[in-house]
Amino acid sequence: MDIKVILLTIGASFLLAVLLGPLFIPLLRRMKFGQQIRTDGPQSHLKKQGTPTMGGIIIMLALLLAFLKFADKTNDFWVLLVASLGFGLVGFLDDYIKIVFKRSLGLTAKQKLAGQLLFSIVVCILLHRMGHSTAIGVPGTDWSFDLGWFYYLFVVIIMFATSNSVNFTDGLDGLLAGTSAIAFGAFTILALSVNEYESVVFSAAMVGAVLGFLVFNAHPAKVFMGDAGSLGIGGGLAAVAMLTKMELVLIIVGGVFVFEMLSVIIQVTSFKLRGKRVFKMSPIHHHFELSGWSEWRVVTTFWIVGFILAAIGLVVGKAF
């Protein structure tokens, strides 16, 4: 695959996001689509109250337009589109209900899970029809094992876990935009190494889209992505990992997201079983904030960790 196509895809989606930002941000502000800030969170976040959210629309539009332009309309194309836009739609509905109907929790847990399950099942059907391998490779080795029909249950678990862990990571200015750009950058290289053309184009388009969004989302953020962006990013990342057969490598490349989810699980479990909290606040990025770290220090540290994990993932995934 021509490297020029990858660079053009990144450039096109970046430019689209940068151009869409000044159009959507004032519109979101006029429509009073402002973020509601948790009163039990870091007090420094209270000044963010009312900052426009649902900026994930910018990411999804830039991604879609660039992907449509440079990708071939193969089976992989539809899997990636359903995974990212489908989960993004669930996130959009969640954001919309929170803001318009003034319901702090948006969709109920059952409604959100039902939406994610629906699009996960559609992805499973598409994978089955295209004869996608049900074998799982062990990172760093030549070993693999075939899950048979259980692979599709594995797909659902991957999509749920990835989308929700990515969603947990979206809590500080630029945190998710930066870490997701790093993860998709790694998967651009990994997909290229196994000749998965659509996954290369999709990952490159996502890199450009989230970096373009970062122009407006870096501290101090002018707009937040909301669930429309975070769930769409998570769904797309899971789909790329499956199409490249790097399902377990995703755990390494997306290690920051894994840590964020584990911190929530540990916190909730500890409080229910012992009545005590392990962290000052979860997800874990808030723990560091409440420990005295500046928001920018937390974000840049997580970016660095993301780079290190991405590099390990590239070596383990045999991209070099």
Residue 227 among known ligand-binding residues: yes
Q: Do residues 67 and 209 touch, judged by C-beta distance below 8 A?
A: no
Of the two residues 7 and 50, the one the predictor is more confident about is: 7
At residue 140 the predicted structure's pLDDT band, cuts being 50, 70 and 90, is confident
CB 50 within 8 A of CB 35: yes
Instruction: Specify the pLDDT at position 46.
Output: 47
pLDDT at 37 (0 to 100)? 54
> What local confidence, expressed as pLDDT, does residue 139 receive?
87
Mean pLDDT of 10-15: 98
**Structural domain containing residue 296:** 3-318
236 CA to centre of own chain:
7
Minimum mean pLDDT among 11-15, 39-43, 141-145: which range?
39-43
pLDDT of residue 103: 62
Q: Is the dihedral of CA 163, 165, 167, 170 positive or negative?
A: negative
Please state the domain count of the chain: 1
If phi over 0 gives left and psi between -120 and 50 gives alpha, with beta otherwise, what is residue 318?
left
What would the mean pLDDT of 82-104 be, rounded to a whole number?
87
Mean pLDDT, the chain, integer: 91
pTM comes to 0.93
181 contact partners, CB below 8 Å, separation of at least 6: 206, 207, 210, 211, 214
Question: Average pLDDT of 247-251?
Answer: 96
- Tens digits of per-residue pLDDT, 250-291? 999 999 999 999 999 999 999 999 989 999 999 999 999 999
Residue 304 reports pLDDT greater than 50 = yes
Whether residue 283 has a cis bond before it, omega within 30° of 0: yes
Say what percent of the chain tops pLDDT 90: 80
Q: Are strands 144-146 and 135-137 parallel, antiparallel or unpaired?
A: antiparallel
Model confidence band, residue 141 (pLDDT cutoffs 50, 70, 90): confident
Determine contact, residues 233/58, Cβ cutoff 8 Å.
no
Which regions of 42-182 does DSSP assign to beta strands (E)?
135-137, 144-146
Question: What single letter denotes the amino acid at residue 38?
Answer: R
Residue 28 has pLDDT above 50, yes or no: yes
Q: Which residues of 69-94 are buried (b: 16+ CB within 10 A; e: fewer)?
A: ebbeeeebbbbbbbbbbbbbbbbbbb
**193-202, pLDDT tens digit by residue?**
999 999 999 9
Angle between helices 226-243 and 175-193 (to 10 degrees): 20
Give the 3-state secondary structure of residue 140: coil
